[in-house]
C-alpha cells in the first residue's frame, strides 16, 4: 500500500474502502442518490445524518445486504463486486449492527465464533484454541472488565456486550470495521470505554466507520466526518477543522456542495 506525507500521519493515502456514485431506491423512495463515501486505514470516519438520511442503507449496500442500483465500490483502489455479505466478509469488511445480534444464552467464546467455529477432523469443537484466541483478542483490545469468557453474554453490561461484538468483528483479518450506533444504549462510563476501543481499532490500522448521532462521541474519536442528508452527500469535514455547530448545520439545513437540483435548500453562509 502506498502512503504519502500529505495525509493524516496514521492514515493511508489510498482509501481502503471507497464507494462512488451510489444510488439505491426502495420503490419510490430514493434512499441514496450519487453518494460518495470513503475510509482509510488508520482513521475513524464518522457517518452522520438525521433519521432516514440513508446511513444504514449505505452501510448495507457496502456490506452486500442490498444490491446497488448504480455506483461502484473500490477496495484498496480496485473495483470490487460485492453481491452478498460473504463477499464483504471475504474482503475483510465487518459490520457491528445496532442490535449487535449476540446470542444471550451463549458465552463470549461461542458468540465470537458463532458460525465460524473451529472443529477437529471428526467435527468436535476445538475449545482450547478458540478460548485462547478469544482471550488474546480481548486482551489486545484492552477489554479487561469481562471476568470470564465462558460467561453467558446475557450477564454482561451493555458496554461489555458491545466489546464482544467488536471483538467478533476484528478477529478475522478485518480491514474495515463499521459500527452502527455503538454507544446508543450506553451510560457515560461505558460509552467512554467503547469510544476508547473505537480509537484503538484505528490505531491498530483498521479503517473504522462510526455511525452515530451523538456529536460529542464523534468529536471525541473521529478523524473525518461525512454528513448525509436526505440520501445525498452534504459534506466531508476534517474533525480538527470544523465545529459541532457547523456539523449540526450540515445535518439539519444542509450545505449542498456538489449536488445539483436542490440549490433551493442552500442558505447564505
Ligand X SMILES: Nc1ncnc2c1ncn2[C@@H]1O[C@H](COP(=O)(O)OP(=O)(O)O)[C@@H](O)[C@H]1O
- Residue ranges that bind ligand X, judged by CB under 6 A: 26, 29, 31, 49, 51-57
Helix residue spans in 92-239 (DSSP H): 108-112, 127-140, 158-170, 188-203, 215-221
- Of 114 and 262, which has the nearer Cβ to ligand X? 262
Least separation, in Å, of the C-beta of 32 and ligand X? 8
CA gap 40, 238 in Å, rounded: 13
**111 contact, one of ligand X, Mg ion, none, CB 5-8 Å limit per kind:** none
- Residue corresponding to grid cell 440520501: 231
Residues with Cβ within 8 Å of 12's Cβ and at least 6 positions away in sequence, in order, are 1, 2, 3, 40, 41, 42
- Of 29 and 248, which has the nearer Cβ to ligand X? 29
- Of 55 and 175, which has the nearer Cβ to ligand X? 55
- Of 26 and 172, which has the nearer Cβ to ligand X? 26
- Cβ atoms of 123 and 154 closer than 8 Å: no
**186 contact, one of Mg ion, ligand X, none, CB 5-8 Å limit per kind:** none
CA gap 68, 142 in Å, rounded: 37
- Cβ atoms of 135 and 173 closer than 8 Å: no
Least separation, in Å, of the C-beta of 234 and ligand X? 12
Least separation, in Å, of the C-beta of 56 and Mg ion? 3
Q: Which residues bind Mg ion (CB under 5 A)?
A: 55-56
Amino acid at each position: 500500500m502506498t502512503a504519502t506525507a500529505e495525509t493524516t500521519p496514521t492514515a493511508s493515502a489510498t482509501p481502503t474502502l471507497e464507494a462512488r456514485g451510489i444510488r439505491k431506491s426502495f420503490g419510490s423512495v430514493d434512499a441514496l442518490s450519487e453518494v460518495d463515501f470513503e475510509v482509510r486505514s488508520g482513521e475513524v470516519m464518522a457517518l452522520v445524518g438525521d433519521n432516514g438520511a440513508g446511513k444504514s442503507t449505505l452501510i448495507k449496500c457496502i456490506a452486500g445486504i442490498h444490491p446497488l442500483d448504480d455506483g461502484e465500490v473500490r477496495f484498496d483502489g480496485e473495483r470490487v463486486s460485492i453481491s452478498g455479505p460473504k463477499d464483504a466478509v471475504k474482503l475483510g469488511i465487518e459490520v457491528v449492527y445496532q442490535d449487535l445480534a449476540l446470542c444471550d444464552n451463549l458465552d463470549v467464546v461461542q458468540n465470537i465464533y458463532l458460525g465460524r467455529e473451529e472443529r477437529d477432523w471428526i467435527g468436535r469443537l476445538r475449545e482450547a484454541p478458540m478460548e485462547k484466541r478469544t482471550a488474546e483478542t480481548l486482551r489486545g483490545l484492552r477489554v479487561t472488565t469481562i471476568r470470564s469468557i465462558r460467561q453467558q453474554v446475557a450477564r454482561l453490561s451493555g458496554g461489555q456486550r458491545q466489546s464482544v461484538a467488536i471483538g467478533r468483528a476484528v478477529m478475522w483479518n478485518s480491514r474495515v470495521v463499521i459500527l452502527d450506533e455503538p454507544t446508543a444504549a450506553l451510560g457515560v462510563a461505558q460509552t467512554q470505554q467503547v469510544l476508547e476501543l473505537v480509537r484503538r481499532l484505528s490505531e491498530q490500522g483498521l479503517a473504522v466507520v462510526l455511525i452515530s448521532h451523538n456529536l460529542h462521541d464523534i468529536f471525541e474519536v473521529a478523524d473525518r466526518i461525512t454528513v448525509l442528508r436526505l440520501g445525498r452527500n452534504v459534506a466531508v469535514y476534517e474533525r480538527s477543522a470544523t465545529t459541532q455547530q457547523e456539523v449540526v448545520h450540515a445535518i439539519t439545513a444542509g450545505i449542498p456542495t456538489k449536488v445539483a437540483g436542490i440549490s433551493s435548500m442552500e442558505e447564505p453562509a
